[in-house]
């Protein structure tokens, strides 16, 4: 997952899916360097990546809301 002020993105093995602030999604074949928007040509891939990205964002918003943004991974916290 990638994040910027105006966009978030998810990457698969081949595709880059970008969602902007206006909730418009765009799909690109980044592996092959194509700059053409491909959501219309690969609607199932675009839908899947859109759902993945939105669910990731929803999970992140929940984590922020319940103040669980820090996890102690030190050896002392493992209780051996």
pLDDT tens across the length of the chain (80 residues) = 666 678 889 999 999 999 998 889 999 999 999 899 999 999 999 999 999 999 988 988 888 888 877 766 666 655 65
Residue-level pLDDT at 24:
93
Dist CA 30 CA 49 (whole Å): 14
Residue-level pLDDT at 31:
92
* pTM for the whole structure: 0.74
Residue-level pLDDT at 28:
97
Residue 36: left if φ>0, alpha if ψ -120 to 50, beta else—which one?
Answer: beta
At 62 the three-state DSSP class reads helix
Residue-level pLDDT at 1:
60
CB-CB contact of 30 with 18 (8 Å): no
């Amino acid at each position: 997952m990638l994040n910027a002020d105006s966009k978030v993105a998810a990457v698969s093995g081949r595709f880059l899916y970008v969602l902007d602030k206006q909730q418009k999604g765009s799909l690109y074949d980044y592996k092959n360097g194509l700059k053409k928007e491909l959501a219309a040509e690969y609607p199932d891939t675009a839908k899947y990546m859109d759902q993945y990205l939105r669910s990731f964002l929803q999970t992140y918003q929940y984590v922020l809301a319940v103040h669980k943004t820090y996890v102690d991974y030190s050896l002392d916290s493992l209780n051996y």
